[in-house]
Structure 1
Amino acid sequence: MGKTKKLIELDDRAIAILEKQAKLQKRSLKNYIEYTLEDEALRFSEPSEAYKKMMDDMIKRDENGTLETTSWESIKAKYGR
């Protein structure tokens, strides 16, 4: 997996905000920006094969009537929320 350099321009206010967030995570500004962009890009990527297989299995069990579920109301009642 290669890497590509890109020049980006951000306003001073955005930089100040990002610097504060980077410090909170004990990261450099550059590392924080790279991490944040890569993390966001992964949100747009296709799900993994393992996830697809798990979801296909759940759909199949739902169609067969063998999928066991718990209602949100039941979970709230169990944990006192």
Structure 2
Amino acid sequence: MGKTKKLIELDDKAIAILEKQAKLQKRSLKNYIEYMLEDKALCMSEPSEEYKAMMDDMIERHEKGELKFTPLSEVLKKYGRKL
């Protein structure tokens, strides 16, 4: 997959916030911005064919009554947790 360079302009406040986050992750500002943009783009992309097939299978199994669900209250009780 190729790469394309783009010039972007951000206000100083946004840059300061991004610089702090980059330092927390031990990244350069450029690397952090690239990482965040690519991550956001992936979130907006269409699900993979494998994921779609898995979800279609789950829907079909649900419609056939083949799935077993455990109430959240039982899971929390099992692990000694509360909401």
Superposition TM-score, scaled by structure 2 size = 0.91
Q: Mind listing any 5+ residue stretches in structure 2 that lack a counterpart?
A: none
Corresponding position of 1:52: 52
Q: Which moved more, 1:70-79 or 1:21-30?
A: 70-79
Q: Which moved more, 1:67-76 or 1:18-27?
A: 67-76
Does structure 1 residue 38 correspond to structure 2 residue 38? yes
How many residues are treated as equivalent by the alignment?
81
Q: Which moved more, 1:15-24 or 1:68-77?
A: 68-77
Once the 2 structures are TM-superposed, how far is the Cα of residue 21 of structure 1 from its aligned partner? 0.4
Q: Percent identity?
A: 75
Q: Flag as ranges the 4+ runs of structure 1 deviating above 2 A.
A: none
Does structure 1 residue 71 correspond to structure 2 residue 71? yes
1:25-48: per-residue Cα shift (whole Å, max 9, x none)?
Answer: 010000000000000010010111
Superposition TM-score, scaled by structure 1 size = 0.93
